Amino acid sequence: MKIYEDNELLVLNKPAGTDVSKIETFIDLPRNGLIHRLDKDTSGVLLFAKNKKALSFFQKQFQERKVKKTYIALVNGIIEQNQGEIETLIGRQGIKQKVFNLLSPESKKTGPRQAKTAWKVIKRYNNHTLLEARPKTGRKHQIRVHMAHLGFPIVGDKLYSFKNQKSSLQRHFLHAKQITIKTLDGNEKTFTSELPKELKKYLENI
């Protein structure tokens, strides 16, 4: 589960099905050391700060959009373009709702925020497309909402996919493959997580 550790930073390989808010109870870290978040059913690279100074330092990079993030996603349908970029406003669908949606600029009273995602095709399968997605912002459910809006929802996504979608996966096919971030010594470090076995197996069977 551990990818990297030093005096300021702990990098974990989060499995799907794990709530990030509960991970801190199982590891020896200061309270509220979580630098960023991944959805419960999204696997991959997850960063924790080991002290308050480090937490502030790393979170600032996320806020200033200086962190490079790469995700792997399998979507329903064949995307003809080899690459693209989508930029929209994203906000909650009503008060206290878990579902997020694209909103118009006139909806600012509901708190929409700008969201931007770049993507490129890795491989096309039978009615599926494997993508590399690079979110330029860090909105909740961003990649999932953007791909659904484009008409290519992520395989296994229960919130944003087609109602009649059938999938043998017990999770959605979204994996945080890589993060590049500057450490306190001024150097950049890149942390990588391999695609989980269940996702590799799913690709082999489509």
Q: Which residues are catalytic?
A: 39
Residues in the chain: 206
- Pick the closest to residue 73 from 24, 20, 146, 6 (CA basis): 146
Distances (CA, A) of 43 to 1, 90, 114, 163, 167: 11, 22, 24, 23, 18
Cα 90 to Cα 29: distance, rounded to the nearest angstrom: 32
User: What phi-psi label fits residue 61: left (phi over 0), alpha (psi between -120 and 50 degrees) or beta?
Assistant: alpha
Name the DSSP letter for residue 50. S
CA angle 46, 199, 196 (to 5 degrees): 40
CB 50 within 8 A of CB 76: no
